[in-house]
Structure 1
């Protein structure tokens, strides 16, 4: 159960009112709770530790909906959420920010470890056949070959910060890394430090 997995061991977090902050489709936290978590971060994290942000975007997901229909798209989003939870830790917070965008906030995690988790998620999604025979039979999509899978990939941006740093800035850095991942052709995980190193080494 996604809700049980998400809420079972979350002690250092803003108060969770059941259902109000849960995404109706995937069962993980929604964008409203992400905003609340970020705004109240300093109240619940008081030690000098590293924290990391993963921003995950399903590549060209609009095309998936247009090609296979919203029902197949929703099924794929549920599977993506499951894969995110299966490849993250009990202490991590997973959110659905928008139609095909997700985030993970990782406690006490440096960027290198967060990158490893991001790569696990990216690879697992790439290797997953997003298909459910019952759904295709229900939709009667006879134009598609029977048992043909829907292949989906994700792009991921990673950033890390200390407790006394600005969590909002870290999210912006992760956004920049995600944009770079898309520029590089998608289906890749990029650390914000990779971008900063390149910028610092570029001649002026």
Structure 2
């Protein structure tokens, strides 16, 4: 409402109308004013009065609209604060739920979606001097971790990196939508960037709510991060040897209880020491990470891969008998062999793997026993020329596939 709308109609005009009416009435009373002239003046004054009444009504309506807008703004502000406080509480509960970082990020975006008309969202965390997408939702697509990076628009990723490097929030206009990009993090939480895409009319609300929930978001992602450091291998992002010692006994116990088959694959990168000596340890680390990525791509969602130590890996295949496990091992072997590995100067590195496969047998007292048999089969594959899959029976190892 402008200042001119807030100003009441002129009192001077009302005064003049009153004086005019009085003058006409006095003239008629004293018989000094002709009747025609008096009627003309009265009609003119009536028209002016109607105009003044219309102006007064317009002013009253403007005042009412202004008061409603002020009241609506106060109510909306209060509602926004309550929403932010509720989200803070709900996001804080995510930290106590024991989920991993990717799942925590997905839950955070789902909670934000209850308060905002979200058209897209992403949570990225800082890892090794880069931003790792934990969860991305774009349109009807959503994904975690590696797949998340494939659906995040490059313009948003670039804007997120820029905002993170400057530690400054920013907005990006996309068609009729606005992407709100805010870095988060501190001493007691994870660091990264929160992205929320909303209709333009919701941009201010989204900015306010996102700013209010930054600390609980950071803490919610920090707790899983601490857990991940304890159970994940930093280089390959596979489960660690420590986690294997805690998790595999449970997997073996479950297989024995349900009488479902369980197979173990032990895998080793062939001539890995030669790769390190020839191309350097940095390239060796990249080979390890890439083999781990290939390994994950060949497994089902309920299979579990561990970095056993050095260049050796272990895979647990629940509900999988030996013949099916051999097919999985062979798929891993072929995929690694077909994958291109390059040195820092662009030279191709021939990388192959040897694998040993064993199925849990009634004679296996614990997880160590079946691992030992799979490991023996692995070293039989090494002795037989590498780049092959060998199976282990309860008594001995038998070669089943050659490279």
TM-score for the superposition, normalised by structure 1: 0.78
Q: 1:29 aligns with which of 227, 234, 239?
A: 239
Q: 1:17 aligns with which of 214, 227, 236?
A: 227
- Extract unaligned runs of 5+ from structure 1: 6-15, 137-146, 199-204
Once the two structures are TM-superposed, the CA of residue 170 in structure 1 deviates from its matched residue by 1.2
Residue equivalent to 2:187: none
Once the two structures are TM-superposed, the CA of residue 148 in structure 1 deviates from its matched residue by 2.2
Alignment of 1:1-204 (within 5 A): 17-41=227-251, 44-45=254-255, 46-131=257-342, 135-136=344-345, 147-161=346-360, 165-166=364-365, 167-193=367-393, 196=396
Q: Based on CA coordinates, which of the two structures has the bigger radius of gyration?
A: 2
Once the two structures are TM-superposed, the CA of residue 19 in structure 1 deviates from its matched residue by 1.9
3-state SS of 2:347 partner: coil
Q: Which runs of 4+ in 1 moved over 6 A?
A: none
Residue equivalent to 1:140: none
TM-score for the superposition, normalised by structure 2: 0.41
Pick closer, same or farther for the CA change 1:163–1:21 going to 2, 3 Å: farther
Once the two structures are TM-superposed, the CA of residue 196 in structure 1 deviates from its matched residue by 3.0
What value does the CA root-mean-square deviation take over the aligned residues? 2.7
Once the two structures are TM-superposed, the CA of residue 88 in structure 1 deviates from its matched residue by 1.0
- Extract unaligned runs of 5+ from structure 2: 1-131, 135-143, 146-225, 399-403
- Matched residue count: 177
Residue equivalent to 2:68: none
Kept after mapping to 2: 8 A contact 1:53/1:174: yes
Q: Which structure's relative contact order is higher, taking Cα pairs within 8 Å and 6+ residues apart?
A: 1
Once the two structures are TM-superposed, the CA of residue 37 in structure 1 deviates from its matched residue by 1.5
